[in-house]
Each structure stands twice: as structure tokens, then as C-alpha cells.
Amino acid sequence: MPFILTRRRSRLLTLTLRAQTRETERVTLTLRASAAPGTYRVTLVLHAQTAPDPARIYTLVLHAQTTGGASDPPLRSEVLYGQPPITTVTRLTLNGVLLDGISWQHTRHEMYVEAEFTVRGIVRPARGDVMSVEVQQRLPRQGPTTTTYEAVPADGDYQIARTPDGGYRTTFRGRTTQDQDLQNTRLPELIPWVANPSRQIESPNYRSVTRQVAPVRAILGLAFTEAGQNLSGLDVLQGEYWEETRREFTTRDRSPTDVYGDTYGRLNVRLILRESTQNTWLMLPPGVADNVFQLRPEFLTALSEQAESSRTPVRVTLQAGDLFTQVEDYLEEVVSTEALPDVVGEDGQPQKLEIRDRNAARFEVSRDAVVTGFVDRDGRRTATLTRKRAGRVVQVVEVITGLIELTEPVTPDDVLERARTTLLSSPYWQGQLIQLQQKRALNVVFSITETTFKYLPGTEDSQAVAESLTTRTAYTYTYTTVPQGAQGIPAELAALVPGAIQGDLLGRESTRMRNVWSPQGGWLRERITVESRVGELGQTGLDDPGTAPPPVALTVEEYTTTETYKPTGGGYWIYTRTRIGPQKLPVRDMDTGEIAKTERRIGVLEHSEELTENAPPTLRDEVPDVDAQATSTSGGATEGSISGLPWPRVTYLRDPQIAVAENPDGPAPEIAVTLDAVREQDRAGTLVGLLNLDYQPRVIRTVQTPQAARLRPGMTLGTLGVIRLVTARGQGHTHTLEVETVEIRRE
């Protein structure tokens, strides 16, 4: 519908037209203006703009046409632009020397930067010469800006050609080398136990092991340091580590790139050269950026878009490290069902699990229990009792019994006396045999040994013994011994030694052992053992053995043994052992030169120090301070602690841990990844989701603009996605910036 201006109202008439379309539609707007000859001059000024969305491109096509008769004066059509032009000045330098540039290109990849210069004249760059590009621009509504792209070392190659005007033209290139350093560096062994395995694991009789660990991020950082590089960024494997005999790894003769590829690279975490001049690298998980930059949308000159949906796999599988579970943790189920699973030992080697003593197995899985048993050997019976309380052993009793034959001691006078007595009592005795020596057999108790244990407070480790006391009671028997019933034997053991009697008390000996554990590392720092032994026996009435009382202990001697461990580094320890106690020494009469008597003295009987690789026992739980250890009490273990008595070695079940992310509509085949350093199933589930995100449908966009900007991969370009490639090029003083981005379409 035409708009007709019937009369002059003002010198300026403004018409505002708005149009809203879809992305696939095209709008054509036609404006015509005419005036009567000789009346008004018509000037058509068009301003066009779109909503502030750089993804939309508005193309404005202006067609100017005039009409009139041959006698009419010529009319001039002109287009008045709404923005002034962008002015650009480019400077190419080599080691700071300005070059006469013809064309250039600077490309920023994720792991390296490369550049190519074509300049007038003859230039022979040496390897390592610094190539630099500086772009000075003046943008509308903005002051002058200077953009300096990352400097690139020349690779030393160049081509010189003659130009048609008789001059020369040189083309040369350059490239950063940090990624090559990561690829070419050969690493030493950074995993500590590969060269120095734990001695406890090598021992065939270990009960528990403190395995060495190596954090994944720390080892990777050391690998980059070996190549002179620094690593930072988001750590998706934070807290994960390799573990001796369980999750093994090695770095010997490998490159830092190999180590990265076997860890974060398997999760498609991008490794980006953050700053080439500082040798710094950045880790970015899929879909994550570390900075945001916005190009001015009015300067965008081109935009292309490509969708990728066919790369999504139907399933993504992540196999994490195996799960190791102590068999003792659910041995009750194993004992009750008699199902023996396949297990491995602390050294990772297969072990055969057998249950030959079911009572002992039941005792192990119980928290409060008593197990008894006996062994008959060489005419003697050894009966034992082991008592558990709160999951740990608190008492062990051993009783040794057996048959002995006692013979009455007879002297010649005893023979005559018995003959007279026989004749007087039997006048008709005709020479029957007189029993001169009386004999009798008894089932007796030889010894009772009892050991009690006290543990560190607040610990669950069955090795965390703070103090133990062992008491040994010995008995002696003669023909005149008056038998007594068994005393001091627990009721559970008395039934195993029926009829056993106790004789004359020979003495009680004891051994008290106290352990001091180091709060730093939990290793045994000191062990003090005090032994009390019978030193000398005494007996009266030896002139008449038949009526002599039993011998008694006259003296008790104490021996103290102190053992200490001190770490010296490198897996070595200083082991010191000192033994103090009494010693009998002969005393010589200086006048006669004869040995007159013996005297007892107290002193050091033995002292030794040695440097050894044999590490002391080490606790798995946190150890309290030394002062707190002195107030330890027995028991106190929480639910889940075990004693481990029946089994010769600690054994584990080894179960695989697999996390799966499903894409039912995914057209690509399944992808499987293995990452042994991951310990827990829940963590594996999170990581497989992160990996699956990188395979979701995505959109790749390429934009062009004359605006200069120092961008790099890993940054976000507005709403277009995360940058993965940046190319800046120019010819003369023109400048074009081309940026490629990736946007993951999250469902």
C-alpha cells in the first residue's frame, strides 16, 4: 500500500518498519520514493539491524533507481552507511625487526601454535627466531586497540622466489615445540614401589600390609615437570591413586603424553597449551571452558554451521579398578554356605581358600566367642583356649598335662626295716618277695600358660596391642607330693583335661610386653619386654628324701629387653636391641687364688644396633599420642573388626567394577574404556557420564570477522560454543579472524 505525502510538513520523514521471520525465511522489502519535478529532492536513507544474536546474519541489498524524462536534470542516488569503516594496520616482525609483509597466517591449535609469513625481500630466518604479529585497529564507537598474537619460533625452513617485478619474496614458517617436548621426553620410574616394593608384601608370613600409593595427579605433574612443563586445570581424578599390588602403573621409558593419554586422556579431557611463553598447560573436561569472550556481532561477515549426531555410541562402558574386599568381612556367609570364592592375597596373587577347621572359622567371624581344642602328642595333651571380646583376642590359655610315674626312694636301712616289719607281722613268712620300691602313676598338670592382651584405645586393628602379660605356672612332683585338684584352669578347659591334678608349685614366671607405636606412620617405635624367672630353688630335709618337702623358689630374676626402630629413609631402619639382667660371676680369693663364691650383678647382657630393611609392624588405623597409649584399655573395637586367627594370610575377593552409560538411540557402536586408577563404583558412574557427554550430538560453527582478538581453544565464544581452533590471516593491512567452535547439545 503506497504512502502519499500530500503536503509538506517537515524536511524529514522517518518510517520505521519491523519484520520478524524464522531462520529459514527470507524477507524482501521494497521502498520507492518519488517527487514532482522541481519540487523536492528525495534522499532515501536505510538503517538495518537485527536482534543481538551473532548466529543470525542479516544481508542488506540496496538497489537505487531513478526515473524521469530526458529534460529532467540527472538525479544522484547515494547510500549513507550507518557505521564508519574499520581501519587496520598490521606489523610483522622477526626477532623484533619489522618486515615488509605481503600475507600472513597465525593458527592456534589446542596443543601448539603455528604461523606462516610471506614478505618482500630476502629473509633467512634461523631456527628459533621469534615470529610475531601485531594488529592495530580502530573500531567504531571504540578507541584504538592493539592485538599481539602469540609469538612463534621459526623452524628454520624458508623459500625465496623471484617476483615478476624483479624483486624477491620469502616464505617461512614457525611452530611452538612444547607438545613435542611432552612427546619426546623419556621418563624415569616415578612410581615408588616399582623399584622399592614393600618388604612386608615380599614376606610369606605377613599379617597386614601398608601398601604404597601414588596419586594420579601428582605423578602426572612430575611427568610434566620432567619435560619442563607446568600443568593446571580441573582435576576430574582428584583423590584417585595407584596402589601397590592392586592398581599398578609404570612410567619408565614412557613420555608425559603417554601418561596423560592413559589417565585423563581416556576420559577425553582436553589438554590445551595455555601460554606458550610460560610452558603452562590446561586440562578441560568435555563441555567445560575456562573463560568467555564476545565478538562484536555487527562485524561478523560469515557463519557456517555443521551438526554431528552420528557419532553418539549406543553404549559407553568404563571399567574402573577392581574392588578388593577382605574375605573376613563376610566370612560368616562363606562358613555357613560352604561356598569358597576365588581370592587373592596382599601381593595380588591368587590364593586357595580352605576351611578345614570349621569351629575355628566360626570363631573368627564371631565378635564375642571362645574356642577350645587339644592336641595329644608323645603321651602329653596340650589344651588351648582363645577368648574374643568385641572382635579381638583378649585371652589365650594353654594347659599341658600328661602321665608320670613316681618311684619311692629306698635306702639300705629302709630294706632292713621293711624286712623286720614283715617277719614280725608274718611269722610264717617263707621268703615271699618284698616290694622294696613303691611306684604310682598320676595324670598331672605340668604347666599353665596364660596371656592377656590390652589394645590401643579407639583402634580396630588387631595388631594394635598396647600391652600383653604372659604368666607361666610350673609344678614339680615327688613320691611324697600331696595331689590337689586342678585350680586356676578355666571351666571351658577343665573338661578337656579330666582327672588332671596339680602338684607342688615350682614357681611362677611372667613376661610383660609393652608396645609404643609412632603417631607418625603407625609403625612400632619401641617394644619393652620384662621377663621374671626363677633364679634359684631351695629345699630342706635332703638327708631324708622320703619326708623332704618340695623345693621352693628362693630368688626371682628379672630381665628387661628393649627394642627400638628408627626410620632413616630409603626404606631402611636402625634396629637397636638392649638386654639388661642379673649375671652370676665367680669371686676369686686373692690370697689363695681359689674360687671362693659366686656373686650376682645387674648389668647390660647384650646390646646391638644394625641397619636393616626389615620394617617393623605397622598399624592401619590412626595411632593416638604416646601419652594416650599409656592409658589404653582392652577391647573397644567397633563393628567390623576381625581377628584373623585361623587364616595364615589376609585374603581378598577381587571383583570388577564397571559403569555404563546408555544411549538407546545412538547409531555408533559401543565404546569401552579402562581406567584402573578409579577405586569406587560411584566415582566410575560419574566419570562415565562425563565421557558420554563428549559423544553427544554437537554443532560445529565457523565464524569470520575483521575484528582482531587473541583467542585460544578452551575459551567460550559467546553462545556459539567452546573454541577449538583459531586462525588469523591477513594480506597487506587487511585482517580476518576465523574461529571454530563446538557446542554440545545437552538433552
Whether 111 maps to a domain, the answer reads: yes
The b-or-e profile of 43-59 (16+ CB within 10 A means b, else e) is eeeeeeeeeeebeeeee
Quick check: is 667 in a domain?
no
The C-alpha atoms of residue 272 and residue 265 are separated, in whole angstroms, by: 12
Q: What is the pLDDT of residues 696-707, one digit of tens each?
A: 999 999 999 999
> Does 625 score more than 80 pLDDT?
no
230-263 burial by CB neighbour count: b if 16+ within 10 A, else e? ebebebbbeebbbbbbbbebebeebbbbbbbebb
pLDDT-derived band at 26, boundaries 50, 70, 90:
low
- Kindly write down the DSSP assignment for every residue of 88-142, as one continuous string: EEEEEEETTEEE-EEEEEEEE-SS-EEEEEEEES---PPTTPEEEEEEEEE-TTS
Is position 444 within any domain? yes
**Domain end among 176, 191, 226:** 176
Q: How confident is the model at residue 733 (pLDDT cuts 50, 70, 90)?
A: confident
Question: What pLDDT does residue 647 have?
Answer: 36
CA 424 centroid distance within chain: 96
Map grid coordinates 564508519 to a residue: 84
**392 bridge partner residues:** 389
The CATH number that applies at residue 92 is: 2.40.30
Residues 456-479 have pLDDT tens digits of 887 777 888 989 999 988 887 776
Sequence-ordered list of residues with C-beta below 8 angstroms from that of 451, at least 6 positions apart, any chain: 395, 396, 397, 468, 469, 470, 471
Give residue 142's pLDDT.
Answer: 79
Question: What is the mean pLDDT of the segment spanning 95-101?
Answer: 94
- Other CB atoms within a 10 A radius of the CB of residue 482 amount to 8
**pLDDT value, residue 642:** 30
Q: Name the CA radius of gyration of the chain, rounded.
A: 48
CA 669 to chain centre: 32
Q: Is the pLDDT at 12 greater than 70, yes or no?
A: no
Tell me how far apart the alpha carbons of residues 469 and 475 are, in angstroms, rounded to a whole number. 20
Number of domains in the chain: 2
Angstrom distance (rounded) from CA 57 to CA 62: 16
Across 398-407, b (16+ Cβ under 10 Å) vs e yields bbbbbeeebe
The stretch 194-198 carries a mean pLDDT of 81
144-153 in b/e burial notation, b at 16+ Cβ within 10 A? eeebebbbbb
What value does the mean pLDDT of the chain take? 80
The H or E element containing residue 193 is helix 192-195
Tell me if residue 407 falls in helix, strand or coil.
strand
**Those residues with Cβ within 8 angstroms of residue 75's Cβ, 6 or more apart along the chain or in another chain:** 66, 68
pLDDT reading at 338 higher than 80: no
Give the closest residue to 402 by CA, choosing from 482, 499, 474. Answer: 499
Share of residues in the chain with pLDDT > 90 (%): 41
Q: Which neighbouring-strand residues pair with 375?
A: 382
Q: What is the pLDDT of residue 71?
A: 44
Domain assignment of residue 569, yes or no: yes
Q: Name the least confident of 119-123, 245-249, 571-575.
A: 245-249
Half-sphere exposure in the Cβ direction for 706 (13 Å, CA)? 18
Out of 160, 176, 192, a domain closes at 176
Longest dimension (CA), the chain: 191
> Residue 66: which pLDDT band, with cuts at 50, 70 and 90?
very low
pTM for the predicted model, two decimal places:
0.55
Q: Which domain holds residue 509?
A: 368-423+437-648
Residue 76 has pLDDT above 50, yes or no: no
End of a domain among 600, 629, 648? 648
* pLDDT of 207 strictly over 50: no
Q: What is the pLDDT of residues 266-301, one digit of tens each?
A: 999 999 999 888 899 999 999 899 889 999 888 888
Residue 544 · residue 639 · CB < 8 Å: no
- Compute the distance between CA of residue 633 and CA of residue 464 in angstroms, rounded to an integer: 11
Report the C-alpha gap between 685 and 678 in whole angstroms.
10
What would the DSSP string read from start to end of 419-477? HHHHHHH-TT---PPP--S-EEEEEEEEEEEEEEEEE-TT---TT-EEEEEEEEEEEE-
Residue 712 lies in a domain: no
56 closest CA partner among 260, 311, 302: 302
Query: What is the pLDDT at residue 444?
Result: 86
Evaluate if residue 79 carries a pLDDT over 50.
Answer: no
pLDDT digits over 135-182, tens only? 999 888 778 899 999 999 999 999 999 999 889 999 999 999 999 999
Q: What whole-number distance in Å separates Cα of residue 346 and Cα of residue 200?
A: 9
Q: How confident is the model at residue 638 (pLDDT cuts 50, 70, 90)?
A: very low
DSSP codes joined into one string, 202-269: HSTT-S-----EEEHHHHHHHHHHHTT-EEEE--TTTT-EEETTTB----TT--HHHHHHTTGGGGT-
Question: For the purposes of burial, counting CB atoms within 10 Å of the CB of 699, is it exposed (0-12), middle (13-18) or buried (19 or more)?
Answer: middle
Residue 411 belongs to some domain of the structure? yes
The answer to whether 688 touches 66, Cβ cutoff 8 Å, is: no
Is 689 within the bounds of a domain? no
399-454 confidence digits (pLDDT tens):
998 888 777 666 666 656 655 665 556 555 555 444 445 667 788 888 889 999 99
pLDDT digits 0-9 by tens, 641-663:
233 333 334 556 677 889 999 99
SS3 string of 705-741?
ECCCCCCCCCEEECCCCEEEEEEEEEECCCCEEEEEE
Say which range, 59-73, 489-503, 542-556, 636-650, has the weakest mean pLDDT.
636-650
| Distance separating alpha carbons of residues 265 and 285, to the nearest angstrom | 10
Residue 24's pLDDT band (boundaries 50, 70, 90)? very low
Q: What percent of the chain has pLDDT over 70?
A: 72
What pLDDT was estimated at residue 126? 95
Query: What pLDDT is attached to residue 228?
Result: 95
What is each CA distance from 659 to 118, 313, 319, 320, in whole angstroms? 53, 15, 6, 8
Residue 36's identity, in one-letter code, is: A
3-state class (DSSP) for residue 689: helix
